Amino acid sequence: MTVELSVNLNAVAMLRNRRDLPWPSVTGLGRIALAAGAHGLTVHPRPDQRHIRFSDLPAIRSLIDEEFPEAEFNIEGYPSIEFLALVSAAKPEQVTLVPDDPSQPTSDHGWDFERRGAFLRPIVERLKGEGARVSLFADADPRAMPAAAATGCDRVELYTGPYGGTHDDPRAAEAEIDRLGAAADAALSLGLGVNAGHDLTVANLPPLVERIPALAEVSIGHGLTADALEYGMAETIRRFRRACGQAV
Ligand SMILES: CC(=O)[C@@H](O)[C@H](O)COP(=O)(O)O
Ligand SMILES: NCC(=O)COP(=O)(O)O
């Protein structure tokens, strides 16, 4: 089974928002990602629109519909009334619900399914009724998976932030892989699909994929954008030197 890659465009949008200019272009970089074989595009619009703006969503929807009809749009976020209205309009193939409060700098935990199950169930049903696959952001805890499944969701997205944080500690990384693997096994045994995301990199993906071969999808933004800058920098310097009139 292939693990699909969904490219999170939040970091691109954050760079764009530094100026009142249209670059880097969220749809332009999305197009490059899909043309290079990414399976989908992910955005996590936050209420303050600090990176993805609500107005980005129709443009991404059109990009996929008109140029990459096989690709998937994944919208992540807390299911506020405003978020649910955005999702209804953008019609993503997948919605990933995340228990963020508006003041959080980034996502840092999954749902407490026991406590929030009654809140989630009708929302999951509504989103599925609108044609979306529904994934719920989950901590790497196998004991949480029965309550996750009881919400009616299709998948869980395992929160890999703690794993990403072990980049300089191989033993801690192994322990996190064990936790993620056990959570994935529990979810799969209940018929749930398993996605994963947060702080994933080229370096830490292979052990994760090896432990969870049935992983359906990873969504990656921060580390992927960092690599795009690093690996694109040399060619960019050559382009700018040529623009300066230098012989390159
Ligand atoms: C749910 C998740 O892990 C990502 O969507 C992450 O929250 C990205 O959000 P930021 O780009 O705002 O950090
Ligand atoms: N769902 C996780 C995601 O979309 C990207 O997270 P990150 O790679 O920006 O940490």
Instruction: List pLDDT tens digits, range 97-153.
Output: 999 998 899 999 999 999 999 999 999 999 999 999 999 999 999 999 999 999 999
Per cent of the chain over pLDDT 70 is 100
212: number of CA atoms within 13 Å, CB side?
A: 31
Write down the pLDDT at residue 69.
Answer: 98
Question: What's the burial of 53, exposed, middle or buried (CB within 10 Å: 0-12/13-18/19+)?
Answer: middle
- Give me the architecture of the 4-243 domain, per CATH: Alpha-Beta Barrel (3.20)
Average pLDDT, the chain: 98
C-alpha 238 – ligand 1 centre gap (Å): 33
The minimum-distance atom of ligand 2 relative to the CA of 42 is 4
pLDDT at 237 over 80: yes
Q: How confident is the model at residue 1 (pLDDT cuts 50, 70, 90)?
A: confident
Q: Is the pLDDT of residue 203 over 90?
A: yes
- Whether 76 lines ligand 1, by a CB cut-off of 6 Å, is yes
Q: Give this complex's ipTM.
A: 0.97
Atom nearest to 198 CA in ligand 2: 10
Ligand 2 centroid to residue 8 C-alpha, Å: 6
Pocket test for ligand 2, best of 97, 200, 225 (most atoms within 8 A of CB): 200
- The answer to whether the beta carbons of residues 109 and 121 sit under 8 Å apart is no
Q: Is the pLDDT at 209 greater than 80, yes or no?
A: yes
Q: What is the pLDDT of residues 150-192, one digit of tens each?
A: 999 999 999 999 999 999 999 999 999 999 999 999 999 999 9
Task: Give the pLDDT score at 84.
Answer: 98
Q: What is the pLDDT of residue 243?
A: 98
Give 207 Cα–ligand 1 centroid separation in angstroms. Answer: 22
Report the C-alpha gap between 144 and 187 in whole angstroms.
9
Q: Kindly report whether the global pTM for this prediction surpasses the value 0.95.
A: yes
Using a pLDDT cut of 90, give the percent of the chain over it: 99
Task: Label residue 107 exposed, middle or buried (CB < 10 Å: 0-12, 13-18, 19+).
Answer: buried
- Pocket (CB within 6 angstroms of ligand 2): 8, 42, 76, 157, 197-200, 219-223
Tally the C-alpha atoms within 13 A of residue 45's C-alpha that lie toward its C-beta. 24
